[in-house]
Amino acid sequence: MNLETITHIPEKQARKTPLLFVHGMWHGAWCWDEFFLPYFAEHGWHVTALSLRGHSGSEGNIRGNKIMDYVHDVEQAAGQFEAPPVLIGHSMGGFVTQKYLERNPAPAGALLASVPPYGLWNSLVQVLKYDARILLRAIAQWRLYPAVETPEVARWALFSEDISEEQLMKYYPKMEDESFRVLIDLLGLNLAHPKKVTTPLLVLGGESDTVIPPVDVRKTARAYDTEAEIFPNMAHDMMLEKGWKDVADRIMGWLQDRGM
């Protein structure tokens, strides 16, 4: 499958381990290219972000996709590196990363505001509390775009309340649909199995995340025998929030501590 990728190669290759970034629902590789890809390339890493099938510039349709379709996309992208990459996944991309690591080796992985291994039930409750009509429209249309179909809803789901209107309207038009079938996987049809994963994981979350609240981030960390790190005043889109550099610095330091 023809998958869109965005790659930054450092001017001086200082790191042997490449990094592969996996986006979440409604996003594409573009969300990593805003800050994270230039940042990590500047610090010596060969970095690539992919757009999962049907997203942004990648081949295929979104409707009907399953979680394992996205895992296969990550396997395809990871196979292009000379050495196994570190995987850094956000939200649904964090869950895809967990499923990838059940069956593939990697030197390390980072989960940012990741869907927990036991699925999205708590997140579904948060959406229902905010506006039950979102879920009703999603079911009626058999797609997940209603969760980001207006700037106001996208702000609630993804960003801090104090995000500027200019920044919100820079990102909002890039948001796209997501497969309802994926939601079914994330509600129980294809959950993750932490005991199958031996890769060391860094688990990060945002204090102000309305979609994946800190309680879920901490449970994810415990499932992988580690401690969650929660960033204050941070919402769901940790790679686009104004405190993005604090998140990137933490990932960089963690990788450096492991000689990567």
For the chain of 260 residues, list the mean pLDDT of each consecutive stretch of 10: 96 88 98 98 97 97 96 97 96 98 97 98 95 95 96 97 94 97 97 98 98 98 98 98 97 96
Tell me how far apart the alpha carbons of residues 148 and 90 are, in angstroms, rounded to a whole number. Answer: 17
Sole residue written with tokens 């200082």:
14
Rounded to 5 degrees, φ, ψ at 196 are -85, -10
Helix 92-101 to helix 67-78 angle (10° resolution) is 70
Residue-level pLDDT at 12? 79
Sole residue written with tokens 């129980």:
188
Q: Which residues pair with 8 in a beta bridge?
A: 47
Tell me how far apart the alpha carbons of residues 20 and 34 are, in angstroms, rounded to a whole number. Answer: 15
Task: List all residues 6 or more positions away from 88 whose beta carbon is below 8 Å from its beta carbon.
Answer: 19, 20, 21, 22, 36, 97, 109, 110, 112, 251
Residue-level pLDDT at 13? 73
Structural tokens at position 16:
């042997």
Tell me how far apart the alpha carbons of residues 208 and 105 are, in angstroms, rounded to a whole number. Answer: 33
Contact between 148 and 154 (Cβ < 8 Å): yes
pTM of the model: 0.97
Sole residue written with tokens 């990838």:
100
